[in-house]
Amino acid sequence: MGEAIAAIGVPQVRRSRASWPDALIVGVCRLPVPAWLFYLLLAGPPLAYSYWIWTAGAIPGSALRVPVVILFGAQLAYPLAGAHWLDAAAARAFARFRPLLPLGADTAALERELRSVPPAGAWIAMAVFAVVFMATVGSADTERQFTQLGLSFASVRIPMTVYFVVLGAIWGPFVYRAFHQLRVIGRLHAMAVGVDPLRPAAAHAFSGFTMRLAILLAAYGYAWFGIDPSVQSQSAVTIAFDLGYIALAIAVFALPLWGMHRRLATEREAMLEAANMRFEAATAELHVRVDEMDLSDADALNKTIASLVAERDVLHHTPTWPWQAATLNTFLTALAAPIVLFFVTRALERLL
């Protein structure tokens, strides 16, 4: 991830007024240190703050303190680093997709729209998520989970409220930016010209982006569940969130690509229709020759028909899903591996 972030360099095209997430990415790209190092250092103060929060009410020697503190601190820098990583992926995907844009399209403006968000929208998302996250602090489910983890929730209510407000303020623009990018991808797919199922490289361009975003979201949900599955699985809210993360990851990966799938399927049907018409014409010509007992060029006609049959077979087996098999396999592995590991671990616990 660090190499992917560092490879993008300073973005060339941005809005005249950048939102603060966009300005942060540009600023980090201009630093004399690798981007991954900046985000690693950025996680330092939140880690210290989360450690203070949890030691304020934790039972000494709690085995869960270290992983919980790490996650509480890292999840503040996580969306910022994730947005930077996705910006690099969006730039690479747009470069591969560019051949499908119509002549005369303002590619600079389209790339700018893909890789930036309106400042007002980022601020609104920041405020909305801050309020929503703050509201979760006072829920009975949150207090019960603190008790199960050996913590006195009353002793950390105020610092946790501050923490959740900051957390929501950071995650809000990340979520808004990500879904803005997915919406733009849908528009770009609708604009595409010259879509060819037999030359699908450009049509597959954005599948890598949606896969990365889906994995980022799923990994966040899995991380919290993995701290202590026995506690997390007792919370209906937590289970709903974890199932929601899985469903959201699948939707984020597949739904933005649905429009391109339909484009590829339509083009394949048109190519099949043309091949069928040629096959029909060739077989009709063969029937005429047979009726007239004119077999002078039967071998050439037979080869023509065989070639048309081969073409139809190739088209029938040409996939129309806008991703490579390796991309789909990576996504499914990332999504399924933690689930399989969880059930295997539980089964071994019962056996041993």
164 vs 333, residue with greater confidence: 333
Nearest Cα to Cα of residue 169 among 201, 125, 199: 125
List C-alpha distances in Å: 204 to 27, 92, 129, 210, 310.
30, 12, 33, 11, 25
CA atoms of 205 and 189, how far apart (whole Å)? 10
Q: What is the pLDDT of residue 156?
A: 63
pLDDT above 90 coverage of the chain, percent: 48
The tens digit of pLDDT for each residue in 37-46 reads: 999 888 888 8
pLDDT on residue 233? 58
Q: What integer pLDDT is reported at residue 228 of this predicted model?
A: 62
- What pLDDT, on a 0 to 100 scale, did the predictor assign at position 52? 73
Mean pLDDT of 288-303: 81
As a whole number, mean pLDDT of residues 265-271 equals 94
Identify the residue with better confidence: 191 or 143: 191
Predicted confidence band at 291 (pLDDT cuts at 50, 70, 90)? confident
Scanning the structure block, which residue is given the tokens 């361009």?
205
Q: Torsions phi, psi of 199, nearest 5?
A: -130, 75
Note the pLDDT of residue 58.
46
Report the predicted TM-score, pTM, of the whole model to 2 decimal places: 0.81
Tens digits of per-residue pLDDT, 231-251? 555 556 666 767 777 888 999
Q: Alpha helix (H) ranges present in the chain? A: 2-7, 20-29, 35-42, 44-57, 65-97, 107-114, 119-137, 140-148, 157-191, 207-227, 229-232, 236-254, 258-292, 298-316, 325-351
Q: Give the mean pLDDT of 333-350.
A: 76
- With CA atoms as reference, report the closest residue to 50 among 18, 76, 23: 76
Average pLDDT of the residues of the chain = 82
Whether the pLDDT of residue 253 is over 70: the answer is yes
- Indicate the pLDDT class of residue 93, thresholds 50, 70 and 90: very high
Higher pLDDT, 261 or 141: 261
pLDDT score recorded for residue 230:
58
143-176 pLDDT, tens per residue?
A: 666 665 555 566 667 777 788 888 899 999 999 9
